[in-house]
């Protein structure tokens, strides 16, 4: 594998095991695209059980020494890694844009949040202050001390989705390894190019071989990881059906699991919302990254007169979105990441129309420059007269679609918002403190936003989802210490 970063194509990708790029022991491959050109830019191996075995042995071997190194020393590598990521940020943003289909601006945003994930992990020693020692505690038997220590656990698998191929693994890697574990990343098979290059920065930063590994592959590769005896836990981010499977498979084998999953985020638009900034904000929330964010709004619920007051403004703002090739600075929104994803979204639009929705803006035949005509573009689409029971109102679309449901009151809108199966975020646009407060208290979701379409918390906050949006108890960020270490109680008596 060539080590030059941004390029027109990348050939056959390797795995990264024990500090080296190695070819997968597999004759099964998938194609990874530049979705704006509709052109294959890399071949992705579907790593086999034997590839996973080699990766796990290397990670386990590395764990023996790595877990004994003082945490302050482990953190020094993280500081170097941060500098290297900054140096590579321009090229990395381009690769992210090229392989995912997000714009270069969105690629830069992902790099920035990757750096913030490193910054958050730099605070870990502070959390260790929760460790306690109790002296002379045994009744009637003096000189017995009890102490609780924390220990890293071993090898963790990190299974990630396509939409943030570098940032999401980096939500977990810095925490896991700084706390003394070793990891194996299994990226999405759709766009693994950026993370496959990025992963070597760990070696450049001085991390010992085997601490951070990567195996490319699909669902079968994840399964091999989950079934491996020496993988102690999994951090997963992806869709809800897969999260549910991974969570139960991991738990049934006694492994730790946290699974951040899909979403259908409702947005309540109240008649008293401040017009200009609210509309601009809502439109960006629905259509940036072509709607492929777990925090993107998924359903617009207008309350009372809000429909008449804001609809024309919304339509005219959406019409101005420039859809095009993601590497052009003039593009506001790029293509979808895959042809299959595009077909799925179009299928959902068609089903909604059959069920009685009315299309106000139709992105299905969006025109882009002839050079990009093979790309997976889908223009912004607005669907009106959507009822809360329709699939388009209940299921995650993960595409540039704004379904609109009308409610006559705040209470009715809130009931619709809370009736869904997901609980990632809920948003309200209003200038009333009373409604904002009530919404924040009564909306059943992990992240609440007032006058913000995308409730993206800072990296050191948890990323809580409820209902089908999160499986597990502990979160990879704020609960990193509990998730990536185990407690041990040591009792001592010295005669």
Q: Give whichever of 211 and 243 is closer to ligand NAD, judged by the CB atom.
A: 243
How far apart are alpha carbons 87 and 205 in whole angstroms?
Answer: 12
Rounded to a whole number of angstroms, the minimum distance from the CB of residue 22 to ligand NAD is 20
Residues 172-191 that bind ligand NAD (CB under 6 A): 186, 188-189
Token digits of residue 175 = 């925490």
Among 42-50, 254-262, 316-324, 413-421, the segment contacting ligand NAD (CB under 6 A): 254-262
Q: Does 239 help bind ligand NAD (rule: CB under 6 A)?
A: yes
The CA distances from residue 402 to 15, 151, 300, in Å, are 39, 47, 7
What is the per-residue burial (b if ≥16 Cβ within 10 Å, else e) of 286-309? Answer: bbbbbbbbbbbbbbbbbbbebbeb
How far apart are alpha carbons 236 and 255 in whole angstroms?
Answer: 13
Q: Give whichever of 32 and 188 is closer to ligand NAD, judged by the CB atom.
A: 188
How far apart are alpha carbons 59 and 20 in whole angstroms?
Answer: 13
Among 49-57, 239-247, 345-353, 360-368, the segment contacting ligand NAD (CB under 6 A): 239-247
Residues 292-321 that bind ligand NAD (CB under 6 A): 294
Size of the site for ligand NAD (CB under 6 A): 29
In the bound state, the residue with its beta carbon closest to ligand NAD is 238
Q: Does 463 help bind ligand NAD (rule: CB under 6 A)?
A: yes
The DSSP call for residue 208 is: P
Report the catalytic residues: 294
Residues 198-227 that bind ligand NAD (CB under 6 A): 218-219, 222-223
How far apart are alpha carbons 205 and 202 in whole angstroms?
Answer: 5
Residues 363-402 that bind ligand NAD (CB under 6 A): 396, 398
How far apart are alpha carbons 487 and 481 in whole angstroms?
Answer: 10
Residue in the block written with tokens 């991390």: 207
Position among 98, 163, 381, 430 found at the interface with ligand NAD (CB under 6 A):
163
Position among 55, 246, 318, 404 found at the interface with ligand NAD (CB under 6 A):
246
Rounded to a whole number of angstroms, the minimum distance from the CB of residue 453 to ligand NAD is 15
Q: Does 471 help bind ligand NAD (rule: CB under 6 A)?
A: no
Q: Does 157 help bind ligand NAD (rule: CB under 6 A)?
A: no
How far apart are alpha carbons 96 and 119 in whole angstroms?
Answer: 21
Rounded to a whole number of angstroms, the minimum distance from the CB of residue 249 to ligand NAD is 8
Inter-residue contact 423 to 444 (CB < 8 Å): yes
Q: Give whichever of 179 and 336 is closer to ligand NAD, judged by the CB atom.
A: 336
Position among 45, 238, 375, 472 found at the interface with ligand NAD (CB under 6 A):
238
**Nearest Cα to Cα of residue 349 among 372, 365, 368, 367:** 365
Q: Give whichever of 192 and 304 is closer to ligand NAD, judged by the CB atom.
A: 192
In SS3 terms, 230-298 reads as CEEEEEEECCHHHHHHHHHHHHHCCCEEEEECCCCEEEEECCCCCHHHHHHHHHHHHHHHHHCCCCCEE
3-class DSSP state of 175? helix
Rounded to a whole number of angstroms, the minimum distance from the CB of residue 465 to ligand NAD is 5
Contact code string over 113-152 relative to ligand NAD, x by CB under 6 A: ----------------------------------------
Among 112-120, 127-135, 161-169, 435-443, the segment contacting ligand NAD (CB under 6 A): 161-169
Q: Does 465 help bind ligand NAD (rule: CB under 6 A)?
A: yes
Rounded to a whole number of angstroms, the minimum distance from the CB of residue 34 to ligand NAD is 17
* 382: region left, alpha or beta (phi > 0 left; psi from -120 to 50 alpha): beta
Inter-residue contact 111 to 105 (CB < 8 Å): no
Q: Which helix (H) or strand (E) holds 384?
A: strand 381-384
How far apart are alpha carbons 265 and 443 in whole angstroms?
Answer: 11
Position among 101, 180, 262, 472 found at the interface with ligand NAD (CB under 6 A):
262
Contact set with ligand NAD (CB under 6 A): 159-163, 186, 188-189, 218-219, 222-223, 237-239, 242, 245-246, 260-263, 294, 396, 398, 424, 463, 465, 469
């Amino acid at each position: 594998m060539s080590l030059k970063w941004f390029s027109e194509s990348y050939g056959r990708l390797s795995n990264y095991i024990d500090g080296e790029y190695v070819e997968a022991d597999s004759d099964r491959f998938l194609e990874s695209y530049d979705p704006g050109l509709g052109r294959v830019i890399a071949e992705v191996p579907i790593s086999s059980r034997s590839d996973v075995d080699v990766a796990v042995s290397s990670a386990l071997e590395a764990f023996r020494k790595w877990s004994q190194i003082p945490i302050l020393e482990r953190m020094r590598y993280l500081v170097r890694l941060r500098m290297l990521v900054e140096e590579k940020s321009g090229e990395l943003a381009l690769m992210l844009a090229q392989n995912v289909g997000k714009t270069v601006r969105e690629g830069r945003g992902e790099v920035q949040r990757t750096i913030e994930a490193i910054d958050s992990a730099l605070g870990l020693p502070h959390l260790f202050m929760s460790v306690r020692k109790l002296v002379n505690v045994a009744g009637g038997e003096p000189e017995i001390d009890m102490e609780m220590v924390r220990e890293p656990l071993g090898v963790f698998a990190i299974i990630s989705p396509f939409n943030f191929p570098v940032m999401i693994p980096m939500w977990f890697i810095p925490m896991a390894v700084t706390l003394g574990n070793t990891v194996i990343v299994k990226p999405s098979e759709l766009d693994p190019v950026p993370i496959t290059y990025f992963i070597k920065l760990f070696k450049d930063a001085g991390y010992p071989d085997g601490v951070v590994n990567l195996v490319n592959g699909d669902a079968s590769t994840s399964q091999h990881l989950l079934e491996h005896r020496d993988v102690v836990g999994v951090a997963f981010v992806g869709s809800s059906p897969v999260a549910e499977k991974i969570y139960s498979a991991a738990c049934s084998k006694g492994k730790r699991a946290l699974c951040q999953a899909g979403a259908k985020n409702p947005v309540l638009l109240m008649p008293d919302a401040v017009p200009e900034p609210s509309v601009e904000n809502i439109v960006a929330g629905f259509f940036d990254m072509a709607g492929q964010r777990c925090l993107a709004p998924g359903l617009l619920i207008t309350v009372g007169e809000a429909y008449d007051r804001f609809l024309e403004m919304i339509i005219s703002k959406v019409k101005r979105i420039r859809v095009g090739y993601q590497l052009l600075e003039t593009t506001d929104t790029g293509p979808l990441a895959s042809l299959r994803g595009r077909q799925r979204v179009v299928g959902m639009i068609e089903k909604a129309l059959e069920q009685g929705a009315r299309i106000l803006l139709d992105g299905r035949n969006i025109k882009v420059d002839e050079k990009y005509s093979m790309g997976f573009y889908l223009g912004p689409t607005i669907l009106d007269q959507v009822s809360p029971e329709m699939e388009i109102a209940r299921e995650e679309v993960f595409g540039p679609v704004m379904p609109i449901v009308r409610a006559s009151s705040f209470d009715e809108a809130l009931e619709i918002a809370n009736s869904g199966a997901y609980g990632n975020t809920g948003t309200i646009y209003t200038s009333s403190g009373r409604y904002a407060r009530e919404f924040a208290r009564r909306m059943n979701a992990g992240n609440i936003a007032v006058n913000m379409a995308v409730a993206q918390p800072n990296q050191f906050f948890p990323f809580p989802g409820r209902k089908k949006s999160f499986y597990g108890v502990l979160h990879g960020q704020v609960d990193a210490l509990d998730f990536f270490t185990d407690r041990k109680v040591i009792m001592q008596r010295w005669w």
